[in-house]
């Protein structure tokens, strides 16, 4: 009676397992990467909603003008230069400002019980200094995230209403300015 496996049988089993690993590993890594991208886009949507809520609660916007209690304005600018276009009724703020004002909840990091961060799930870097433009179009408060590069904007941007139509556009940092991508 034969006990155990022959060397050829063991090598065959090892080869089959290696081929399965070569096929499955890239698919699993791709799924993990896509999930992280989806989480990143979801965080951006949450930050945009927080900025819109802040704008709706703190700005009077009759006739497309931003007015409000100066102590409530996040920054003193009411003009944004985006893509070479001047937007007269605009505020640029950071995620940190929205969190400080109570419109966005931060995450606990490490063993700390204090919520201190808003992390990019793709690489676990801080998003606290990332910017959001809050502006008025058609007597409505709108907000757009200002991406760190155009690649991220293309992945996460939703269509927005500008004037009478909707189109997909996004703001992103390009050298020392803010540009518009489509």
Q: Over the stretch 84-140, which tens digit does the pLDDT of each residue have?
A: 777 777 888 899 999 999 999 888 887 766 678 899 999 989 999 999 988 877 777
Residue 127 or residue 4, greater confidence: 127
What does pTM read for this prediction?
Answer: 0.74
Q: Over the stretch 68-85, which tens digit does the pLDDT of each residue have?
A: 444 444 444 567 777 677
Q: What is the pLDDT of residue 162?
A: 58
Q: 10 Å Cβ neighbour count for 4?
A: 6
Q: Backbone phi, then psi, for 109, in 5-degree steps?
A: -120, 130
Query: Average of pLDDT values for 149-170?
Result: 72
Cα distances (Å, whole numbers) of residue 54 to 57, 74, 159: 5, 10, 21
Q: What is the pLDDT of residue 136?
A: 76
């Amino acid at each position: 009676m034969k006990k155990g496996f022959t060397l050829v049988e063991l090598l065959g089993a090892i080869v089959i397992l290696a081929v399965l690993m070569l096929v499955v590993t890239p698919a699993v890594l791709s799924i993990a990467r896509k999930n992280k991208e989806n989480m990143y886009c979801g965080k951006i949507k949450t930050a945009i909603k927080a900025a819109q809520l802040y704008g709706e609660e703190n700005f009077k916007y009759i006739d497309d003008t931003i007015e409000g209690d100066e102590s409530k304005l996040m920054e003193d600018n009411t003009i944004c230069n985006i893509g070479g276009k001047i937007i007269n009724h605009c505020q640029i703020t950071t995620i940190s400002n929205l969190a400080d004002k109570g419109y966005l909840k931060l995450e606990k990091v490490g063993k700390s019980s204090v919520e201190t961060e808003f992390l990019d799930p793709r690489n676990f870097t801080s998003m606290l200094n990332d910017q959001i433009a809050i502006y008025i179009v058609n007597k409505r408060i709108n907000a757009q995230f200002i991406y760190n590069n155009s690649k991220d904007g293309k992945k996460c941007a939703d269509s927005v209403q500008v004037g009478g139509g909707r189109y997909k556009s996004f703001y992103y940092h390009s050298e020392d300015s803010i540009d518009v991508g489509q």
